[in-house]
Amino acid sequence: MDIMEQIREQIEKNTILLYMKGSPNQPQCGFSARTVQALMACGERFAYVDVLSNPDVRANLPQYGNWPTFPQLWVKGELIGGCDIVSEMHESGELATLIKEAAGDEAVS
């Protein structure tokens, strides 16, 4: 499978998906750590891909989503953004609403 197809499939199959450096339990950069904390505070399950152990994904995802940096949060197939955007959404309460709606939609389908 082509790497772009693989990325598309990951995004389509996971309602809430975080591309990050490391894992939620062991983030490998401060930006990934802050993003994971904001996501975990929403209280819903999410999938993740460690771009450090997936160099093809790390090399190609920036072109796929037209977003140059990591982490990247994708919700229902849409790129939400990176650490700063996710942190701002968390502080405003917008992130919790988005994540809970997405998780609720997943439970219904």
For 8-29, write each residue's pLDDT tens digit. 999 999 999 999 999 999 999 9
Any known ligand binding at 50?
A: no
- Report the distance separating Cα 11 and Cα 28, nearest Å: 22
Q: Span 74-90, mean pLDDT? A: 98
Any known ligand binding at 46?
A: no
Q: Which residues on neighbouring strands pair with residue 19, listed in sequence order? A: 49, 72
Any known ligand binding at 42?
A: no
At 29-73, the pLDDT tens digits run: 999 999 999 999 999 999 999 999 999 999 999 999 999 999 999
How confident is the model at residue 14, as a pLDDT? Answer: 97
Q: Span 79-100, mean pLDDT? A: 98
- Report the distance separating Cα 19 and Cα 68, nearest Å: 12
pTM (predicted TM-score): 0.95
DSSP 43-83: T---EEEETTS-HHHHHHHHHHHT--SS-EEEETTEEEE-H
Asked: is 3-100 a CATH 3.40.30.10 domain? The reply is: yes
